[in-house]
């Protein structure tokens, strides 16, 4: 049984861009991942 919801590719790209902007502002990966609503492990995956 699947956990959570699956995002469309364009939504994933937007979230990754947002995360990259947060990282460039000096935030850590866990902070940036939390902001987009995923775990750090999911971000790296």
Q: What is the pLDDT of residue 2?
A: 62
Q: Quote the pLDDT of residue 25.
A: 96
DSSP 5: -
Most distant pair of Cα atoms in the chain: their distance: 38
Residue partners of 40: CB distance under 8 A and separation at least 6:
29, 30, 33
Return d(Cα 36, Cα 13) in angstroms, integer.
Answer: 12
Averages of pLDDT over each 10 residues, the chain, 45 residues: 72 93 95 93 91
One-letter-per-residue 3-state SS of 1-45: CCCCCCCCHHHHHHHHHHHHHHHHCCCCHHHHHHHHCCCHHHHHC
């Amino acid at each position: 049984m699947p956990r959570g919801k699956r995002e469309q590719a364009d939504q994933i790209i937007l979230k990754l861009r947002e995360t990259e902007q947060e990282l460039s502002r000096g935030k850590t990966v866990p902070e940036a991942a939390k902001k987009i609503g995923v775990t750090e492990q999911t971000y790296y995956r």
